[in-house]
Amino acid sequence: MPPASSPAGSGGRAAGRPRLSSLAILDDYQGVSLTLVDWAAGLPGVSVVAFGDHLSDEDALVARLAPFDAVVAMRERTPFGAGLLARLPNLALLITTGPFNAAIDLAAARDSGVVVCGTGGTASPTAELTWGLILALARHVPAEDGAVRAGRWQHTVGVGLEGKTLGLVGLGRLGGRVAAVGSAFGMRLVAWSPHLTAERAARHQAELVDKATLFASADVVSVHLVLGEGTRGLIAEKELRAMRPSAYLVNTSRGPIIDEVALVRALSEGWIAGAGLDVFDEEPLPLDHPLRRMPRTVLTPHLGYVTEETYRIFYGEALEDARAFQAGVPVRVIEPR
């Protein structure tokens, strides 16, 4: 459901105080947030500071954010739970890039008087990266790239995708884009999700199957679900053991949808041929995490949405959110359900 607009000054910290003096931009890993948008022109008189490092320690995060009355958070990189929000009494406006953010306690924000706003986005970049991971796995691109650089030549044999079965766990906006490319490659499409209908599957040239059939029959399983209580740990040991030893698993949605401990076992013991992962339970992925050492994997650092075009939407609309808040008519407000 798209976020709705609501009036400013609903109570708490934001009541009677829509003017902003300082805004923090978090987790700007690439250092581009201040170059893609003219914050000075859009928010005259507001001090805008971008932070390129990630802080996981709550005390350190509180010390950093305490002076700011507005924060722009990049997706779910930094959780804003009730405890953190309670320790930021100056915070009046919290902007998340994207239309929703599972890492923000919206009820706690509302109760604290913090207005939470979102931005638009697009499914295209994540769908494109999904196919980058699938092709990299099927044709051993990272291994062959390393081999060429080391002076070797042709040491693996890849697999073609034409005629293979693509299993889509989720067939919404993003899954539908991935399905279209699978059809173009001549793949057979099967799909499952808790509420998927046969009619919707057919619109994407896919066959609706049950969950067990999808994992048992697919040569590539690609995950495209929203993380929630109903999807956390949805893919566990049972599903991974049901997959073919020649099959690949790709996840560009959210890490906790897959049981990470079971996935490490599946890779280390050869239950599946490999995995392409853009998302993880803990991000950034810890240096000592076993997935960093797993064979037959392609790992990317949550790059699904990381394109210049997406960032222009994120930061451009974050600026619009801040200006609207200043004017007392906040837009794209995200309310607790």
Same domain, 280 and 153: yes
Question: Is 337 part of any domain?
Answer: no
pTM of the predicted structure, to 2 decimals: 0.90
Same domain, 210 and 253: yes
Residue 284 is part of which domain span?
124-299
Same domain, 22 and 133: no
Mean pLDDT, the chain, whole residue set: 94
Question: Is 163 part of any domain?
Answer: yes
Judge whether 54 counts as a catalytic residue.
Answer: no
Same domain, 198 and 294: yes
Same domain, 112 and 145: no
Same domain, 134 and 116: no
The pLDDT, as a whole number, for residue 238 is: 98
pLDDT confidence of 17, banded at 50, 70, 90?
Answer: low
The pLDDT, as a whole number, for residue 122 is: 85
Beta bridge mates, 189: 166
The total number of structural domains that make up the chain:
2
pLDDT confidence of 3, banded at 50, 70, 90?
Answer: very low
Sheet containing 22-25: order of strands: 47-50, 22-25, 70-73, 93-96, 115-117
**Of 13, 177, 204, 254, catalytic:** 254
The pLDDT, as a whole number, for residue 13 is: 55
Pairing of strands 274-277, 207-208: unpaired
Judge whether 323 counts as a catalytic residue.
Answer: no
Q: What is the DSSP letter of 104?
A: B
Tokens 């929630």 correspond to what residue?
228
Asked whether residue 62 carries a pLDDT value surpassing 50, the answer given is yes
Contact 221, 165 (CB under 8 A): no
Question: Is 336 part of any domain?
Answer: no
The pLDDT, as a whole number, for residue 2 is: 36
- Rounded Cα distance between 7 and 266, Å, is 50
Question: Is 334 part of any domain?
Answer: no
Same domain, 176 and 218: yes
Judge whether 283 counts as a catalytic residue.
Answer: yes
Question: Is 81 part of any domain?
Answer: yes
- 137: CATH: 3.40.50.720
Same domain, 291 and 160: yes
What 3-state class would DSSP assign to 331?
coil
Same domain, 35 and 140: no
Pairing of strands 93-96, 70-73: parallel
What tens digit of pLDDT does each residue of 251-299 get? Answer: 999 999 999 999 999 999 999 999 999 999 999 999 999 999 999 999 9
Question: Is 313 part of any domain?
Answer: yes
Question: Is 2 part of any domain?
Answer: no
pLDDT confidence of 10, banded at 50, 70, 90?
Answer: very low
Instruction: Please say whether the dihedral angle defined by the alpha carbons of residues 128, 39, 57 and 87, taken in this order, is positive or negative.
Output: negative
**Of 128, 144, 207, 283, catalytic:** 283
Same domain, 151 and 274: yes
**Of 140, 188, 302, 332, catalytic:** 302
| Nearest one of 141, 107, 221 to 175, comparing CA atoms | 221
Tokens 């044999």 correspond to what residue?
157
The average pLDDT across 230-242 equals 97
Both tokens assigned to 334: 């995200």
Same domain, 144 and 19: no
The average pLDDT across 203-226 equals 98
The pLDDT, as a whole number, for residue 4 is: 37
Question: Is 268 part of any domain?
Answer: yes
Same domain, 158 and 292: yes
What tens digit of pLDDT does each residue of 74-120 get? Answer: 999 999 999 999 999 999 999 999 998 989 999 999 999 999 999 99
The pLDDT, as a whole number, for residue 19 is: 84
